Amino acid sequence: MRTIGELGEPGLIGRVSAKFPQTADVIIGPGDDAAVTSAPDNRVVSSTDLLIEGRHFRRDWSSARDVGHKAVAQNFADIAAMGARPTGLLLGFAVPDDLPVAWVDGFADGIAAECATAGGAVVGGDTVGAPAVTVAITALGDLGGAEAVRRSGARPGDTVAVTGNLGLSAAGYALLRAGADGPDEALAEHRRPSPPYPQGPRAAALGASAMIDISDGLAHDLGHVARASGVAVALDSSALVPPAGLRSAVERLAELGGGHRGVREFMVAGGEDHALAATFPPGTGPPDGWTTVGAVREGQGVTVDGRTPPPTSWNHFG
């Protein structure tokens, strides 16, 4: 079995870069000191994130390809949440020298496949040795001439809508922790999130007043919108439509003795959904594929069915 230590940094960079097709947004890709990308809007949307082995993924739970998909998804979801189209991605990759080359190949395949789905391309990056696999992504996007949709634009009277698979990833995580090998829908969503990338620009085009990527739980992330906008957000849990597979995942968890969380609790407080939540002014309905789940009111904070939800979102330092 060939390892990264035997391959060396030049071989690693060449091996990984060869797997990434370029797009029309890339003028100069990997191979020079820096990449050059087009910026037809004259503004570049950017975001960055980290994945650390043992904290954000486990190699015994997820394949290398899964990790590649997830690394791209959680970053390009942030670009979509601004109403932008993903264009480019910079990859920082730290790995142990005994990591199999085959694992790196699978990881690169996952990145390439998710970039093809989202519409962006890898434009450069760096590699270094480390005790555990660490992935640092900087994602870039294009607004296409539109204004960015920020968290601070919600106003009393707006409706709140969501799109994407709420709760399914958190249920998949709970199943993995319980040692379960199914249901497949929940496990797959945790390993390879499926952000609704096109829905961000669609919501922006229809006049969304605020928008956010749901990575730390619906109620928690809408709390960011409420604070930034100086408003209150009232959610109606009965309006939430469970994604396919969530009910069966919750039933399986109950069989395993971990059934203290219900379907809607996963949807309200689950993490790593990488779905989107947005607010829309009166008379402006959300696009097809969105579900209206609440309203913006005078006040502050988030309520679910009239009550303040418990703080059960993902803790980045716990």
Q: Is residue 313 marked as binding?
A: no
Q: Is residue 126 marked as binding?
A: yes
Which pair of tokens denotes residue 296?
Answer: 């913006």
- With the CA atoms of 299, 302, 305 and 306 taken in that order, what torsion angle do they form, in degrees rounded to the nearest 10? -40
Q: Is 179 exposed, middle or buried (CB count within 10 Å of its CB: 0-12, 13-18, 19+)?
A: exposed
DSSP 237: G
- pLDDT band for position 23 (50/70/90)? confident
| Of the candidate ranges 181-190, 203-212, 258-267, the one whose mean pLDDT is the lowest | 258-267
CA 156 vs CA 36, 178, 209, 280, 281: distances in Å: 42, 42, 11, 10, 9
Q: Is residue 272 marked as binding?
A: yes
Q: Report the pLDDT value the prediction gives residue 33, as an integer from 0 to 100.
A: 82
Nearest-angstrom CA–CA distance, 270 and 314 = 8
Average pLDDT value over all residues in the chain: 91
Per-residue pLDDT tens for 201-211?
A: 999 999 999 99
Mean pLDDT within 69-86: 97
Q: Report the pLDDT value the prediction gives residue 22, as an integer from 0 to 100.
A: 78
Write out 282-305 in H/E/C secondary structure. CCCCCCCCCEEEEEEECCCEEEEC
Mean pLDDT within 126-150: 94
Instruction: Determine what percent of the chain is predicted with pLDDT higher than 70.
Output: 92
pTM of the complete model beyond 0.85: yes
| Of the candidate ranges 238-247, 255-264, 297-306, the one whose mean pLDDT is the lowest | 255-264
Q: Classify domain 151-304 by CATH architecture.
A: Alpha-Beta Complex (3.90)
User: Is residue 297 pLDDT above 60, yes or no?
Assistant: yes
Mean pLDDT within 192-209: 97
Q: Report the pLDDT value the prediction gives residue 317, as an integer from 0 to 100.
A: 38
Task: Indicate the CATH number of 7-142 among 3.30.1330.10, 3.20.20.70, 3.10.129.10, 3.20.20.60.
Answer: 3.30.1330.10
Q: Is residue 125 marked as binding?
A: yes
Q: Is residue 213 marked as binding?
A: yes
User: Is residue 245 pLDDT above 90, yes or no?
Assistant: yes
DSSP-H helix ranges across the chain: 4-17, 64-81, 101-118, 168-177, 184-191, 199-205, 218-229, 246-255, 263-269
Report strand pairing: 85-95 vs 121-129: parallel
The angle, 0 to 180 degrees and rounded to 10, between the axes of the packed helices 101-118 and 64-81 is 30
Nearest-angstrom CA–CA distance, 72 and 267 = 22
7-142 matches 151-304 in fold: no
Per-domain residue ranges of the chain: 7-142, 151-304
Phi first, then psi: give them for residue 286, nearest 5 degrees. Answer: -70, 160
Mean pLDDT within 116-143: 93
Per-residue pLDDT tens for 26-71?
A: 888 887 888 899 998 899 999 999 999 998 999 999 999 999 999 9
User: Is residue 81 pLDDT above 70, yes or no?
Assistant: yes
Q: Is residue 48 marked as binding?
A: yes
Of 280, 284, 283, whose CA–CA distance to 293 is shortest? 280
User: Is residue 8 pLDDT above 70, yes or no?
Assistant: no
Q: Is residue 288 marked as binding?
A: no
Q: Report the pLDDT value the prediction gives residue 310, as an integer from 0 to 100.
A: 76
Q: Is residue 305 marked as binding?
A: no
User: Is residue 318 pLDDT above 50, yes or no?
Assistant: no
Q: Is residue 151 marked as binding?
A: yes
